[in-house]
Structure 1
Amino acid sequence: MQSLLRLINTRTRINTVRNGGASFLASYTTLPPSLLQSDPQWDHFASDPKSRPPSVHGLGHNMLTSRLERLPSDESVVSAFDGWMRDGFEVDRDGIFQALNCLRCRHLHSRALEVMEWVMRERPYKVTEHDYSHLLEFTIKCRGIAHAEKLFQTIPKSYQNEFLYNQIIISCLANRKNKNIKLSYTYMEKMRKMSLLISPFVYKSLITPHLTPSRRKNIPDILTQMKMDGVKPCISTFNNLLNMHAGNHDIDELSKVFDEMQMADVEPNENTYCILAKAYTMARLYTVAESYIEALERLNTGNNLGLLNTLIMLYGCLNKDKELDRTWKSVQQWPHVVPKSYLLAIEAFGKVGLVSNAEEIWAILRSIKKIDQTNEFNSILSVYCRYGIVEKAIVICKEMVANGCKPNAITYRHLTLGYLKAGRVTDAINTLKRGKYEQLTKKAMRSASWLESTLMVVEMFSQLGKLGKAEFVFKELKRSKYSRHTFVFNALLKGYVTARVYRHEENLLEWMISDGAKPDAETYRLLKLIRCP
């Protein structure tokens, strides 16, 4: 009886506002007929009465989300809502917002737009600016900015407030086309004329598309305008800037941004410390890196697998075998460990010299899943090649090909290092030549695994006096801007010393400084040895 009363009350409220809601949607677009029809026969749970949700509490909202997600593509959301209310449940704001979040995560944007159009038409609850913002968001994603602008004009003036303006700007910036970025500036100017406050998340969203090399020059102007608008940067804004400078291996700018962050009284989070720890580790500033790792350990509750994965990678780079083993045991306590964790652990144990541990983890990974990706084979390959165990490395390569995986640039780079470590220089040079024809993505070029193995190849060629090969590989480090670190340039200078190739000191210093590296005592010592007589 209570379920029946709830159904009657919900239907009565919907019918009361039906006409008002329909006129709103009709003012900006023509809805497809499927949205105006309902199918009383639809019910995902009709075949199994035991699977019906017992109440609207607890799992109620999840069950509504499940119905919307499993709805056939040719059926309207009307049938899902009809079935939901026929079971005696109400449609409330919490249930709608939870459903929208799930649909957004699954990129079912058109279905989410249908949900919001149904809400606006049927009005199961009193709508707010949050409902209109969701409607704008999914309209932009599904129908474009032109439809969204028309829709914005039809929204009641009382709802065209600061929140809604900020939301439409963020939605514009989610699509990083030039015209949408220009439109966001237009709406920001309107907000200034109306004395509306611009959200820090608007500027965070504005900076994100400008992180690309072609647009990066505009970031200082954006930050200046941010100060003029009196907007305090949020933690996400600072993290984006830190990540940009870390990717460029620009430690000076990285340090400046972090100082500005502290002056602004913005509390660092886990992502902040992860970015800093990785950047200083790659720069071989281990003491500074350890201080940020200690901060990460204080934040580590064992409930964040991403943080544990980062610690595994960092402990491997810092050669901390005890801390690495402890962290890996924490990861193993999780009910489901993702393959990425296994791959990071394999490489980390290899870096600290525990090859047997890396092999054990590799065996566990093979027992729980089929190894069918090149990067998975590359993880154990990097361990063998680091120590010149080329026999086992060749076996892994043969298994890789047998499983239908194609060796990539990182594969050949690891093999080149392995052959050099084993003293098979000719094989190393031939492998290097084969690898140069493989395409290398920007993401792979910036990865720690690629940079470390490439630097070790430069060091090995320099020790052997193979200056031409060392310079060839060094160019790749230059493209990734890793040559900004002094120790990378010094590795190449050692090749000049070993090969007894003399250069003018001024030319080498000018080359080094132009790349952003700062000469140190080791640099000047090497320059004296290769100075022209």
Structure 2
Amino acid sequence: MNLLLRSNPKPWLQQHQQGHYLLSKVLGALSFSTNTQPKDSLNLRISRAGNPKVSVIPVIEQWLEEGNDIKKSHLQNLIKQLRRYRRFSHALQISQWMGDKRDYEQSPGDFAVRLDLISKVHGLEQAEEYYNSIPDHLRGSQVYGALLNCYAHKRHLEQAEATMQKMRELGLVRTLACNVMLSLYSQLGKYEKLEALVKEMEEKGFYADVYTFNIRLHAYAVTSNIEEMEKLLMKMETDYLINVDCHTYFAAANGYLKAGLIEKSLAVLNRAEQLIASMGGNSKRHAYEVLLSLYSAAGNKDGVYHVWRLCKNMGRIFNSTYICMITSLMKLDDIDGAVWISEEWISSSKLNDIRVPNTMIRAYSRKGLWEKAEAYVNKIVESGIELEASSWDHLAMGYHFAGQMTKAVETLKKAISISKPGWKPNPYTLKACLEYLEGEGNAEAAEELSKMVSEHCPV
């Protein structure tokens, strides 16, 4: 790929603004100001009704029965917040309830949001049925954009391309729709199609925003086309309309790492860190977690600990950051450091998030350090944290790798016995345990283990 998409500012500024307008509509629900909307009891009641299997509609109806009004903008904001916290089922319930009430006239944006939620909760088939029920005159850029995003999210290339073509025919294609397709092509490794769409954007004068460039940069990085990656990065850095973000440098760092250019990777990671410093909230935390992983991949232990200190300076450290730090240190064979971080988590955590100890158990087991994994499991149990099936499954894997097959069998049985519906044991560990029992001439025990799997973990 050697095309450089122009970003001549003034002729395309209006299309740039339209692209971002559509982005806010399709991917982030509708944009509603929350500056003047205080937290009220309805918001609190909805936030507390966290069980996805229990409807939140009775909460809304109770609020109305108490003599309160609910403006449409309030419901839209609730849907937006629920989507942000991935409570898609509850968001869909409110969207459907709002659509069934005659007092709330539905806009194309409301249809688009509901279409997206149906796809996430019930799948594409029901989403398509809902799309077909939307009147033609309301199927504007927002609805088509939502449908396109549904197909792209599920990686259904043929349907996505057909939707994109329909949008072309209707004159609805803007930068956002192109970005959705560029991302899909990149994910599927369809780089020739990606290049063709870039050329189409250039010919039709579509503004290339930072998302466009980042997708292309990632494609160059994945294919180790360092020369074109560097050209594009330089163009982005010198274009005053392109606000280069940390993800730009993350993509470049990955490209350099893949090519074995460690020093260049560290240089762009330093630039990423400077941009992260001005960020805030969850975005900043997530960015630091990526930075931890990339410094680890570069073999730079000092960089990992440096970012960890930056994370601690933010105040509360989330469990996901502990997991990322432990994983990064284990990749660097800094076992003592990983243990130290784990000890800090045990002493400071108020939430029994099993993902953190599971990270340690899995890392020990993969390195063949079954004795350390065993000791760590005992310590976690003594601390009062209840292990789950996957915890024991990871330990069984460690026993298997170390040839401790008797322990592997017993531990795997324990994992299966406490498993919840939908859980599956590690197939390689299970196969090794069955082969071990059969090799020992213990067909009865092998049959017993197979029976446990079929009863607790049915296919």
Q: TM-score, normalised by structure 1?
A: 0.53
Unaligned runs of 5+ in 1: 1-55, 416-436, 440-533
What do the CA deviations read for 1:440-459 (whole angstroms, capped 9, x no partner)? xxxxxxxxxxxxxxxxxxxx
Matched-pair contact (CA < 8 Å) for 2:52–2:89: no
Report the CA distance between 1:219 and its aligned residue.
Answer: 1.7
Structure 1 residues 315 and 80: CA distance shift in structure 2, 3 A: closer
Paired residues of 2:289 and 2:324 also in contact (CA < 8 A): yes
Aligned residues: 347
Q: Which residue of 2 aligns with 1:130?
A: 109
Q: Deviation per CA, 1:246-296, whole angstroms, max 9, x where unpaired? A: 344443343344345457642211211222234324544233223322322
Quote how far apart the aligned CAs of 1:354 are. Answer: 6.5
| Deviations, residues 302-329 of structure 1 (Å, cap 9, x unaligned) | 7412222233344456666655444323
Distance 1:281 1:82 in 2: 55
Residues 80 and 146 (structure 1 numbering): CA distance in 2 closer, same or farther, change over 3 Å? Answer: same
| Residue of structure 2 equivalent to 1:272 | 248
In 2, Cα distance between equivalents of 1:353 and 1:117:
52
Which whole-Å CA distance do the structure 2 matches of 1:82 and 1:319 have between them? 56
Instruction: Choose which of 224, 228, 234 in structure 1 pairs with 2:203.
Output: 228
Instruction: Choose the corresponding residue for 1:287, options 245, 254, 263.
Output: 263
What SS does structure 2 have at the residue aligned with 1:131? Answer: helix
Alpha-carbon spacing, 1:148–1:226, altered in 2? closer, same or farther (3 Å)? farther
Aligned to 1:300: 276
Query: 2-side partners of 1:76 and 1:359: how far apart?
Result: 42
Q: C-alpha distance in 1, partners of 2:154/2:309?
A: 41
> Unpaired runs of 5+ in structure 2?
1-36, 379-390, 404-426, 430-459
Give the counterpart of 2:322 among 342, 351, 355.
342
Q: How does 1:483-502 map to 2 (within 5 A)?
A: none
* 1:76–1:296 distance in 2 versus 1, CA, 3 Å: closer
The 5 Å alignment of 1:310-389 reads 310-316=290-296, 324-334=304-314, 336-346=316-326, 356-365=336-345, 367=347, 368=349, 375-379=359-363
Q: Give the secondary-structure state (helix, strand or coil) at the position aligned to 2:135.
A: helix
Map of 2:393 onto structure 1:
405
CA gap of 1:230–1:152, structure 2 versus 1, over 3 A, is: farther
Q: Scaled by the length of structure 2, what TM-score is found?
A: 0.60
Matching of residue 202 in structure 1 with residue 177 in structure 2: yes
State whether structure 2 residue 39 is matched by structure 1 residue 58.
yes
**Secondary structure of 1:404's partner?**
helix
Cα RMSD between the aligned structures? 4.3
1:461 aligns to what? Answer: none
Deviates more, 1:96-105 or 1:396-405: 396-405
1:183 offset after TM fit, Å? 3.2
* Matches of 1:286 and 1:353, distance apart in 2: 19
Hey, what's the Cα distance between the residues in 1 that align with 2:333 and 2:150? Answer: 49
After superposition, where does 1:86-485 map in structure 2 within 5 Å? 86-104=65-83, 109=88, 111-125=90-104, 127-139=106-118, 142=122, 144-153=126-135, 157=137, 159-192=138-171, 196=172, 198-213=173-188, 215-259=190-234, 261-262=236-237, 265-301=241-277, 303=280, 304-316=284-296, 324-334=304-314, 336-346=316-326, 356-365=336-345, 367=347, 368=349, 375-379=359-363, 393-399=369-375, 404-406=392-394
| Preserved CA contact (<8 Å) 1:67 1:80 | no
Cα deviation digits, residues 321-369 of structure 1 (max 9, x gap): 6554443233234554344433443465578886644442243345556
* 1:84 paired to 2:92: no
Give how far 1:376 is off.
2.5
Percent identity of paired positions between Structure 1 and Structure 2: 14
Where 1:233 maps in the other structure, the secondary structure is coil
Residue-by-residue CA offset, 1:103-159 (whole Å, 9 max, x unaligned):
4356655554443333233244554332232234345554535423432325xx3x5
Q: 1:260 to 1:408 in 2, by over 3 A?
A: farther
* Letter matched to residue 377 of structure 1: I
Task: Name the CA distance, whole Å, in 2 between partners of 1:203 and 1:371.
Answer: 37
SS at structure 1 position matched to 2:170:
helix
* Relative contact order, higher structure (CA 8 A, sep 6+): 2
- Select the structure of larger CA radius of gyration: 1
SS in 2 for 1:307: helix
Inter-partner Cα distance in structure 2 for 1:351 and 1:345:
10
Change (3 A) 1:378 1:275: farther
What is the distance in 1 between the residues matched to 2:209 and 2:396? 39
Q: Distance in 1 between matches of 2:311 and 2:258?
A: 24
Compared with structure 1, are the counterparts of its residues 261 and 408 closer, same or farther at alpha carbon in structure 2 (3 Å cutoff)? Answer: farther
